């Protein structure tokens, strides 16, 4: 689908692929085995201006949008989802500031984010607030000119490595979800610490940690938007970022397909390459078709979101749902095409299959995406009557 990309978009895609092939692929197995945070790769991406793709030029960014960001995510995901998760989570944490931050907050934080001097994390999930995002129990109490945060966030990507955290906390328990607010919390703030680093099935190069707030005091002006807007900030952030997860799905599926197809041309059985066997051809044909369909949907929805459409929840959910389900199916099928070799760690598809599973879970499980789509369809259908 490169034929409709403009010159700058093609440059972003090509450079991301070059970084993925030359810098990420040679060390992806080692990063996975050692659970090593990919600082060197992130620094290379920063030097290439990739951390500011979607940030306006006024704040030091490239001034492009979610579509261009998705192109970069897709190419990195072909090589390693652990690396691309680290990269994509940085944008996830930035969106609350970009969408709802004050001019002062944007000037203070976005230039450092765009340059890569500071990484970002988004802190919504808790032990009792996963799919039920309204179940947040971390509190922020206003005392004079400061908010005092108390609570624990769970499974936060880039936790412990990021310098800036966008955090959702309850400022008025009596209002339920409407009592949540969003804040910027800096890493070295007293009362802010980190719990255990999780040992995961996949995306092992990315850092996933607990955030602990114990009477953590932050300036009143660190609130994002207005008190009570936290749930809106979180949901609009996820609407904006889910095409990035879809792009991850497309990328890892493409990487798995490429590895399986190359193997099928080399592997001889019954006196011929297994690619010549119709059963294998059909597997690969289905994989290729599903990838192209997912790519088309992700690209279309990313462009739709960039058009500043008012409500993108349904389309965003569709892109995330479809592309990540494709990623899981294609990576499993890639292992099947490669047989016993596909199950071995010396080949990349074993890792890709492990990595792909999280795409159906984080940033809203695919069951939740179906709920979002279903509710939108009810409203659309009712309007037609």
CATH number at residue 66: 1.10.540.10
Residue 384: pLDDT band with limits 50, 70, 90: confident
55 within domain boundaries = yes
What does the pLDDT average to over 4-14?
Answer: 95
Calculate the alpha carbon distances from 6 to 3, 69, 279 in Å: 8, 14, 39
Which structure tokens are listed for 117?
Answer: 């001097």
- Is the pLDDT at 2 greater than 80? The verdict is no
Given 198, 292, 363, 380, the catalytic residue: 363
370 within domain boundaries = yes
305 within domain boundaries = yes
Same domain, 320 and 353: yes
18 within domain boundaries = yes
**Segment (H or E) for 293:** helix 278-306
**Segment (H or E) for 227:** none
Residue 46's nearest CA partner among 116, 138, 109, 106 is: 116
What does the pLDDT average to over 283-310?
Answer: 97
Same domain, 243 and 213: no
Number of domains the chain is built from = 3
- The phi and psi torsions of 240 (rounded to 5 degrees) equal -75, -30
Which of these three, 230, 256, 287, is where a domain ends?
Answer: 230
Q: Within 10 A of 300 (CB to CB), how many other CB atoms are there? A: 15
Same domain, 202 and 250: no
CA atoms within 13 A on the CB side of 362: 28
Residue 385 is predicted with a pLDDT of: 79
Residue 94's nearest CA partner among 70, 57, 122 is: 122
What does the pLDDT average to over 232-251?
Answer: 97
Q: Looking at residue 160, which CATH number applies to its domain? A: 2.40.110.10
Length of the chain: 385
Say what the pTM is: 0.97
The overall average pLDDT reported for the chain is: 97
Is residue 363 annotated as a catalytic residue, yes or no?
Answer: yes
DSSP code at position 198: P
Residues 284-299 as b/e (b if ≥16 CB within 10 A, e otherwise) read beebeebbeebbebbb
Which of these three, 65, 86, 118, is where a domain ends?
Answer: 118
Same domain, 44 and 99: yes
Residues 174 and 111: their CA atoms lie apart, in Å, by: 37
Same domain, 206 and 274: no
Residues 45 and 235: their CA atoms lie apart, in Å, by: 27
Same domain, 238 and 376: yes
Calculate the alpha carbon distances from 221 to 95, 101, 108, 112 in Å: 18, 10, 12, 19
Collapsing DSSP to helix, strand or coil, 205 comes out as coil
385 within domain boundaries = no
Residue 133: pLDDT band with limits 50, 70, 90: confident
- Tell me the residue range of the domain where 201 lies: 121-230
What does the pLDDT average to over 170-181?
Answer: 93
Percent of the chain with pLDDT over 90: 96
CB 70 within 8 A of CB 245: no
Same domain, 126 and 224: yes
Higher pLDDT, 149 or 176: 149
Same domain, 96 and 143: no
Same domain, 370 and 344: yes
- The residues with which 129 forms a beta bridge, in sequence order, are 126
Residue 177 is predicted with a pLDDT of: 84
Residue 195: pLDDT band with limits 50, 70, 90: very high
67 within domain boundaries = yes
Angle made by CA atoms 217, 219, 220, in degrees to the nearest 5: 115
Residues 349 and 145: their CA atoms lie apart, in Å, by: 53
Residues 54 and 50: their CA atoms lie apart, in Å, by: 9
222 within domain boundaries = yes
Which structure tokens are listed for 47?
Answer: 């030097």
Same domain, 71 and 82: yes
Which structure tokens are listed for 285?
Answer: 């044909």
Residue 134 is predicted with a pLDDT of: 82
Residue 3 is predicted with a pLDDT of: 76
Residue 131 is predicted with a pLDDT of: 87
What does the pLDDT average to over 189-211?
Answer: 97
Q: Looking at residue 239, which CATH number applies to its domain? A: 1.20.140.10
Percent of the chain with pLDDT over 70: 100
Residue 52 is predicted with a pLDDT of: 97
127 within domain boundaries = yes
- 66-70, 130-134, 143-147, 272-276: range with lowest mean pLDDT: 130-134
Same domain, 270 and 211: no
Calculate the alpha carbon distances from 124 to 133, 193, 195, 235 in Å: 7, 16, 16, 10
Which structure tokens are listed for 250?
Answer: 């497309």
Which of these three, 92, 118, 144, is where a domain ends?
Answer: 118
Same domain, 95 and 160: no
pLDDT digits (tens, 9 = 90+) for 101-128: 999 999 999 999 999 999 999 999 999 9
Residue 259 is predicted with a pLDDT of: 98
């Amino acid at each position: 689908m490169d034929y409709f990309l403009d010159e700058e978009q093609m440059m972003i895609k090509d450079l991301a692929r070059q970084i993925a092939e030359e810098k990420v692929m040679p060390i992806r197995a080692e990063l996975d085995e050692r659970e090593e945070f990919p600082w060197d790769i992130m620094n290379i991406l920063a030097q290439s201006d990739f951390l500011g793709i979607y940030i306006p030029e006024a704040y030091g960014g490239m001034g492009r949008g979610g579509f261009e960001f998705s192109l970069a995510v897709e190419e990195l995901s072909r090589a390693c989802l652990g690396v691309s998760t680290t990269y994509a989570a940085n944008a996830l944490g930035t969106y609350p500031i970009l969408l709802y931050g004050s001019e002062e907050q944007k000037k203070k934080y976005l230039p450092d984010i765009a340059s890569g001097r500071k990484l970002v994390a988004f802190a919504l999930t808790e032990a009792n607030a996963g799919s039920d995002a309204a179940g947040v129990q971390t509190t922020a109490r206003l005392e004079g000119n400061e908010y005092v945060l108390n609570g624990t966030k769970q499974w936060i990507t880039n936790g412990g490595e990021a310098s800036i955290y966008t955090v959702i906390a309850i400022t008025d328990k009596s209002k339920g979800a409407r009592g949540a607010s969003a804040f910027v919390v800096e890493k070295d703030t007293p009362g802010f610490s980190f719990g255990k680093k999780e040992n995961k099935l996949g995306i092992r190069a990315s850092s996933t940690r607990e955030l602990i707030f114990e009477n953590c005091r932050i300036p009143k002006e660190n609130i994002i938007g207005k008190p009570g807007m936290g749930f809106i900030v979180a949901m609009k952030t996820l609407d904006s970022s889910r095409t990035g997860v879809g792009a991850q799905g497309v990328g890892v599926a493409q990487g798995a397909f490429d590895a399986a197809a190359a193997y099928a041309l080399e592997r001889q059985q019954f006196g011929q390459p297994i690619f010549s066997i119709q059963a294998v051809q059909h597997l690969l044909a289905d994989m290729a078709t599903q990838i192209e369909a997912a790519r088309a949907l992700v690209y279309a929805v990313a462009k739709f979101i960039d058009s500043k459409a008012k409500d993108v929840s349904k389309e965003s959910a569709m892109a995330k749902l479809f592309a990540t389900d494709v990623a899981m199916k294609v990576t499993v099928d890639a292992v099947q095409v490669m047989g016993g070799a596909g199950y071995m760690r010396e080949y990349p598809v074993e890792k890709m299959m492990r990595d792909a599973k999280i795409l159906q879970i984080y940033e809203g499980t695919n069951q939740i995406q179906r709920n979002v789509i279903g509710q939108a369809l009810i409203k659309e259908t009712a309007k037609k009557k």
